[in-house]
A and B are shown apart, each in its own frame.
Chain A
Amino acid sequence: MEYVVEMLNIRKEFPGIVANDNVTLTLKKGEIHALLGENGAGKSTLMGVLFGMYQPEQGMIKVNGEQVQITNPNVANRLGIGMVHQHFKLVENFTVTENIILGNEPLKSGVVLDIHSAAKRIEELSKYYGLNVDPHAKIEDISVGMQQRVEIMKMLFREADVLIFDEPTAVLTPSEIDELMNIMKNLIKEGKSIIIITHKLKEIKAVADRCTVIRRGKYIGTVDVAETSEASLAEMMVGRHVSFKVDKEESKPGELVLEIDSLSVKNNRKVMGLKNFSLSVRKGEIVGVAGVEGNGQSELVEAITGLRKVESGKILFNGEDITNLPVRTRIEKGIAHIPEDRQKRGLVLDYTLQSNMVLEVYKKPPFSKHGLLNLSAMKEYAKNIIEKFDVRSGEGEVSIARTLSGGNQQKAIIGRELELDPDLLIAVQPTRGLDVGSIEYIHKRLIEHRDRGKAVLLISLELDEVLQLSDRIAAINNGELIGIVNASETNENEVGLMMAGVSKERSV
């Protein structure tokens, strides 16, 4: 069986870290090969090497049996290798055609861009592969699913034979995921070969032929997907037995803490991002909001925390109307928030850990008096959080926040928020980009908070996480509440349908 791509004994280093340590991956012609690993295991780096974005320190790459040096993406393109990125590399105010031809532009009379014939070719390719792409639309106007298909088109336009998909399903609705799987099968039929980078075991089982597993930069093995269970894949990925079940008792919900009543909120594009949304959260329960990214979750969270204005509707917290109160007041009343982007919203990266821990409370005694800071009180407080929440850093509380790893940054933020002992904790994507160990730890703390009689509102794009942690689940689609169900009485399919907009009669 001929190998179309062979990556042999690849070693790639970055300052201070070995991202790939003696990794081997081989791709047969006409196969879908999965590359599995936790967040931070080195998958994207390996594919970056294949796509010419990085140069390996050691190892060799062969394409169709011949050794090659892939020094930049252009070389990769010429060899027929193309990459569909996780974060799309599309220029928003260019058209689909302009994005596809960028770097490879067809010309009329040697100087002028030949948009017309390019658009025609794109239409033809689109029909052939069943991609349904409009050559003249602007990227900022089309859906996320179509944007991904434009990324695929970029590769087909350059006649790629090997397509690398980097976490392709992260931004798709369940039905768009099915569409994508079909597209992939079509591509294989037309003679392409595919590598798919993912950490989602279900998807690997659904489409992949073989799977290569890496863990912390090291090569663990390559297996036949049909003959390997999800459980053993998981064990190879993490290195120990993983129970995906979260240990939790039944919730005992108490009084109403948060009541959202017909909330409507505008999003950044001046249209309603949240429409007549209603939800309630009680003490002692975790309510999870399930939905695909960009369906109103950010607007919901920002409205509750006070970062965004509300067009209509009310927010009641412990019986009080907080709809128009400023952010700081809400924090003082007992709402804490773990933001979805820890580096942008959660931490001042250039401040020390110590300063970050008092970001919300520095104005209150004992941290300051009459406007003067009490640095030793801040230090004590920070040290306490660091110990309690096992935040690892180079220099303790005086470490600059930027120097901490993603997992420790997140733990610091969670520690800071939980230390406020809030009546309502809003956790948005609390485990994004973290390794399994950190994920387990954070899940435990969230359940603990609930068990102490507090309320947790969980927003997550990982359906599994929502299903496991929540007591009740609300599904959001296009800014609307589709339905609310008890976690114990539902399953992935039902919630998946709701996330796609299909509502249920029953609601709890």
Chain B
Amino acid sequence: MWTIIEQIFPYAIVFTIPLLITALGGLFSERSGVVNIGLDGLMIFGAFAAALTINALQGTIPNHNLVLWIGVLAGAVMGMIFSLLHAFASINLNANQIISGTAINMIAGALTVFLARNMTGSGNIRITSGFFPTDVPVLSSIPVIGDLFFTRTYPTTWFILLVLLISAFVLFKTKTGLRLRSCGEFPQAAEAAGVNVRKIRYLGVILSGAFSGLGGAIIIVTYAGEFTGNVSGLGFLALAALIFGQWKPLGILAATLFFGFATTVANVSSVIPELSAIPPIFLKIFPYVVTLIALVIFSKSSQAPKAAGEPFDSGKR
């Protein structure tokens, strides 16, 4: 049992991290009052930008890791740019946020393959290699914990965990965080207090774009190695994690870890003797079913930001 956990732990973490950062992005957007179901599409944009950039730069610069980080950055930037479409529609035009998010998903799926096919003919973009998992010096020799947490880790993992900590701090301990949260709970009160609701909501949506783009890019440089036109619906799973985690950073960490483990277990079940007895279909649908159950359990006490999804009607009594 323990060896199984040891074995699958790094894979689970690798799967968790893109989910985590994307869900964090969704957190900022929804906490500011804008529902963003286009996270999946923004991840696709991020994956595309990363694959494209790395593919273009690989070989030209001796430091391959630097190329990879540039690719990751490109992913974040592309996510930000396309999130502006959603921001403009939702905030300036008071469009229906679900529809706008769906449009983003559709545009991402189509446009990226369109451009990729134009460049490579097959619609997929390969990169020579991603980050290599390494052991953290010193810490990896600690018994038990060292093996679990500090061996065979990716640098991006530590980066994202840092982002998580900073996000939690900003959200709850700074004035920007206070203002952001007020815009998601009761924007009319924020406005009366002199907060620029529009600006804050733009910030929330742009952050969701940057973070989702990061998520997509990290998939490329850690376990995928190739852009294939979609991210297997991970963006939607991130949305579910956001709700499961009840809109709190730590809750999201727990929820995404859960999904990471569940999916990894489903993927490797055939190889592990104890698990191969369970029909694979159950393992595959397990995360989704559990989410449905969690949605029901949390429905009564939902901590959703009260004004999320409602167009801001300035001056409403």
Direct contact, A vs B (beta carbon within 8 Å): yes
- A131 interface contact, C-beta 8 A: no
With A54-B315, A85-B192, A102-B190 known as contacts, the answer to whether A91 contacts B174 (CB < 8 A) is no
Which residues of A lie under 8 Å from residue B188 when comparing CB positions? 89
- B185 interface contact, C-beta 8 A: yes
- B136 interface contact, C-beta 8 A: no
Closest residue to B317 on the A side, CB-wise?
A87
Task: Please determine whether B306 and A72 come into contact, CB atoms closer than 8 angstroms.
Answer: no
With A54-B315, A92-B306, A113-B173 known as contacts, the answer to whether A103 contacts B186 (CB < 8 A) is no
**Residue A112 contacts which of B174, B189, B193 (CB distance < 8 angstroms)?**
B174
Shortest CB-to-CB span from A267 to chain B, Å, is: 15
Interface residue ranges of A261-292 to B (CB < 8 Å) = none
Task: Please determine whether A89 and B173 come into contact, CB atoms closer than 8 angstroms.
Answer: no
- B194 interface contact, C-beta 8 A: yes
- B310 interface contact, C-beta 8 A: no
Shortest CB-to-CB span from A422 to chain B, Å, is: 32
**A contacts with B: majority SS:** loop
- B86 interface contact, C-beta 8 A: no
Shortest CB-to-CB span from A150 to chain B, Å, is: 11
Which residues of B lie under 8 Å from residue A90 when comparing CB positions? 186, 189
**B contacts with A: majority SS:** helix
Most buried by B among A53, A86, A113: A113
Task: Please determine whether B179 and A103 come into contact, CB atoms closer than 8 angstroms.
Answer: yes
Task: Please determine whether B306 and A103 come into contact, CB atoms closer than 8 angstroms.
Answer: no
Task: Please determine whether A77 and B178 come into contact, CB atoms closer than 8 angstroms.
Answer: no
Interface size on B, residues (CB 8 A): 20
- A107 interface contact, C-beta 8 A: yes
With A87-B317, A91-B185, A93-B185 known as contacts, the answer to whether A102 contacts B173 (CB < 8 A) is no
Interface size on A, residues (CB 8 A): 30
CA distance in complex: A239, B101 (Å): 53
Which residues of B lie under 8 Å from residue A99 when comparing CB positions? 189
Task: Please determine whether A102 and B174 come into contact, CB atoms closer than 8 angstroms.
Answer: no
CA distance in complex: A113, B189 (Å): 19
Task: Please determine whether A98 and B186 come into contact, CB atoms closer than 8 angstroms.
Answer: no
Shortest CB-to-CB span from B298 to chain A, Å, is: 16
Which residues of A lie under 8 Å from residue B186 when comparing CB positions? 89-92
- A74 interface contact, C-beta 8 A: yes
Interface residue ranges of B266-317 to A (CB < 8 Å) = 306, 315, 317
19 intermolecular pairs with C-beta atoms under 8 Å apart: A54-B315, A83-B192, A85-B192, A89-B188, A91-B182, A92-B185, A92-B186, A94-B181, A94-B185, A99-B189, A102-B178, A102-B189, A103-B190, A103-B195, A104-B194, A105-B175, A111-B174, A112-B173, A113-B174
Instruction: Please list the 8 inter-chain residue pairs (A to B) with the smallest Cβ-Cβ separation, ordered nearest first.
Output: A103-B193, A89-B189, A105-B175, A74-B194, A103-B194, A89-B192, A102-B193, A91-B185
Binding site for B on A (CB under 8 A): 44, 48, 53-54, 72-74, 77, 83, 85-87, 89-94, 98-99, 101-105, 107, 111-113, 154
Binding site for A on B (CB under 8 A): 173-175, 178-179, 181-182, 185-186, 188-195, 306, 315, 317
